[in-house]
Chain A
């Protein structure tokens, strides 16, 4: 079943065309990575799938309702005046859930991302990685069917990125939401997703669609496997070709 689908979608901003025409679909429980150069319209595609933006041309079909979609941005985007717990409970409170049950659910989500002991901490007291985990917990709190991750690890160090990547896949395995993972890091894309969609320089079009080998979450040692290296090379080559064609 398709959860969200862009059909012949084009987006123009005042300064010119920003995206497309592009066709991009996400099936239920599917994990797709979207890679492309900066300014190719990756974030625009994400906002379209979230229903936060309308296309200039084409249609967006969404089976997942607004309440069933969650977003994580490059920055943790937590409210500084709220504790980690209140931040995570926010989507539930906005949906009208009772405060007690919302906070209880938020506590569970924070425990799932390894922040069980930081529930009362304010965002300013969290490290970059911890804040991103809290942001992830908030996205999971509403039990989304569609999870949109917009370069969520871009501002983190390599060690934290890797452990968060494994965490996201582990959490995905529990409730299996469809995930669209936007990144400009090819290795991360191949590691995180069953399918890597490559976009051209802006206005972005689809330049390639590569299936990655092996199961999700990734087994130990996957990063050093030949299959992983080959896929990374394939995706990198397609990406390099699109850059060359644009230059």
Chain B
């Protein structure tokens, strides 16, 4: 299969779906509150562009803040665990428990603690919890993944525990940490959106809030508009992270 065909295939499919959708809406006179046509959704995006962009920024900034906090906490904790295996043993069950508990279930508690006036903080915290685990487990696994023969060499050359961590285990962990951050980036956005849904109030007016608001008023085109912006934002973020991943791994492996 040549590259042009590989590029055109998904494009053709998407165009066909949109065209079929548009025509079906017109021919069958589907009510707009049930299923707006793609053109109606596009019009809605155009009209609401500036509030949509503001809402997208709200959601994105909460997700990115959560990602940074999660990254710092998870890497620090994994490093401490790397220096002292007892710490890792102690942290592991708690980390797993928090990970497997649905974030939606923790949300009401977090809302109470941060105060109902600050839904943004609650959302950021919830997104942080979601993003924490993949980074932590990636870093922890990476710190254990050094080549055992290289470990033997470090022992032979009398390396201290600190030297082993800085010069061997930390650099060995880089590919695992990159992978963890990649997963965490996607999860942070999902976490922020889910938390916004739970928070529900108008305090943090992100994309999820726009979706709920518009759905409650049966303004379905606006629901789709927010959804499209959300999907575009998440895809763009994923693409950026993939580029960063390729750069970092390229540097790491020298290829």
A interface residue numbers (CB < 8 A to B): 47, 50-52, 66-67, 69-71, 73, 75, 77, 79-83, 90-91, 93-95, 121-125, 142
Among the stretches B10-18, B63-71, B178-186, B247-255, the one at the interface with A is B247-255
The CA-CA distance from A52 to B148 in the complex, in Å, is 12
B159 contacts A75, CB within 8 Å?
A: no
A95 contacts B150, CB within 8 Å?
A: no
A90 contacts B167, CB within 8 Å?
A: yes
Cβ-closest chain A residue relative to B158: A66
- Which one, A79, A81, A95, contacts B157 given CB within 8 A? A95
Q: A50 CB to closest chain B CB, in angstroms?
A: 6
B155 contacts A80, CB within 8 Å?
A: no
A75 contacts B167, CB within 8 Å?
A: no
B152 contacts A52, CB within 8 Å?
A: yes
Tell me what chain B mostly uses at the interface: helix, strand, loop, or mixed. helix
A94 contacts B255, CB within 8 Å?
A: no
Which residues of B have CB within 8 Å of A71?
Answer: 152-153, 156
Which residues of A have CB within 8 Å of B253?
Answer: 80-81, 122, 124
B158 contacts A95, CB within 8 Å?
A: yes
Which residues of A have CB within 8 Å of B152?
Answer: 47, 50, 52, 71
The CA-CA distance from A114 to B156 in the complex, in Å, is 25
B252 contacts A81, CB within 8 Å?
A: yes
Q: B115 CB to closest chain A CB, in angstroms?
A: 45
B interface residue numbers (CB < 8 A to A): 147, 149-150, 152-159, 163, 167-168, 171-172, 174, 252-255
Q: Which 10 A-B pairs have the closest CB atoms?
A: A122-B254, A77-B149, A94-B157, A91-B157, A81-B171, A124-B254, A94-B159, A73-B149, A124-B255, A80-B253
Given pairs A71-B156, A94-B159, A121-B254, 4 additional interface contacts (CB within 8 A): A77-B153, A79-B150, A94-B167, A95-B157
A-B contacts, CB under 8 A, total: 62
The CA-CA distance from A28 to B174 in the complex, in Å, is 42
A77 contacts B156, CB within 8 Å?
A: no
The CA-CA distance from A95 to B254 in the complex, in Å, is 26
The CA-CA distance from A67 to B156 in the complex, in Å, is 7
Q: List 11 A-B contacts (CB under 8 A).
A: A51-B156, A52-B156, A67-B158, A71-B153, A73-B149, A77-B147, A79-B172, A81-B171, A81-B252, A121-B254, A142-B157
Max chain A C-beta neighbours (<10 A), residue from B156, B163, B168, B252? B156
Q: B114 CB to closest chain A CB, in angstroms?
A: 41
The CA-CA distance from A132 to B163 in the complex, in Å, is 24
The CA-CA distance from A142 to B157 in the complex, in Å, is 9
Q: B248 CB to closest chain A CB, in angstroms?
A: 11
Which residues of A have CB within 8 Å of B153?
Answer: 71, 77, 90-91
The CA-CA distance from A81 to B172 in the complex, in Å, is 8
Q: A75 CB to closest chain B CB, in angstroms?
A: 7
Residues A69 and B254 in contact in the complex (CB < 8 Å), given A77-B149, A81-B174: no
B156 contacts A75, CB within 8 Å?
A: no
Cβ-closest chain B residue relative to A144: B156
A80 contacts B158, CB within 8 Å?
A: no
Q: B156 CB to closest chain A CB, in angstroms?
A: 6
Residues A80 and B156 in contact in the complex (CB < 8 Å), given A75-B149, A94-B163, A94-B167: no
Q: A31 CB to closest chain B CB, in angstroms?
A: 20
Q: B249 CB to closest chain A CB, in angstroms?
A: 10
Residues A66 and B149 in contact in the complex (CB < 8 Å), given A79-B168, A122-B253: no
Which residues of B have CB within 8 Å of A81?
Answer: 171, 174, 252-254
Which residues of B have CB within 8 Å of A67?
Answer: 157-158
Cβ-closest chain B residue relative to A138: B153
